[in-house]
Amino acid sequence: MQTIRKAFTMKLHEGQAEEYERRHAALWPEMKEMIRNYGGRNYSIFLDPRTNVLFGYIELEDENLWTTSADTAICRKWWDYMADIMDVNPDNSPVTFGLQPVFHLD
């Protein structure tokens, strides 16, 4: 099976970098389990402190399976928990912008 690499950006509210990092350092075990159960691996998030833009990278086994993770109760609970410190949609999902791959070297 070929690994699917996904990259995206999100936007953090001004002054929330430490809180964002604190919450992720204590990521709930149920959230970690959900990410793995829905085929997510090698997940990283980086912050550009000049712009408060977050850059996310994740490797997936199956993009369709990953998409269904948004319907899990734990994912919705995490979105609600994070909604006060970042740009979100009306359902509290993070506003994300997918990035187009232009180069990769193994």
The model's pLDDT over 53-96, given as tens digits with 9 standing for 90+, comes to: 999 999 999 999 999 999 999 999 999 999 999 999 999 999 99
Q: How far apart are the first and last CA of the chain?
A: 16
pLDDT digits (tens, 9 = 90+) for 29-48: 999 999 999 999 999 999 99
H/E segment holding residue 45: strand 40-48
Q: Would you name the residues annotated as active-site residues?
A: 24
Q: Which residues pair with 44 in a beta bridge?
A: 57
- Return all residues near 48 (Cβ < 8 A) that are at least 6 apart: 54, 55
Q: The pTM is what? A: 0.93
All domains of the chain, ordered by start, with CATH?
Answer: 4-98 (3.30.70.100)
Any idea how long the chain is? Answer: 106
The percentage of residues in the chain with a pLDDT greater than 70, rounded to a whole number, is: 100
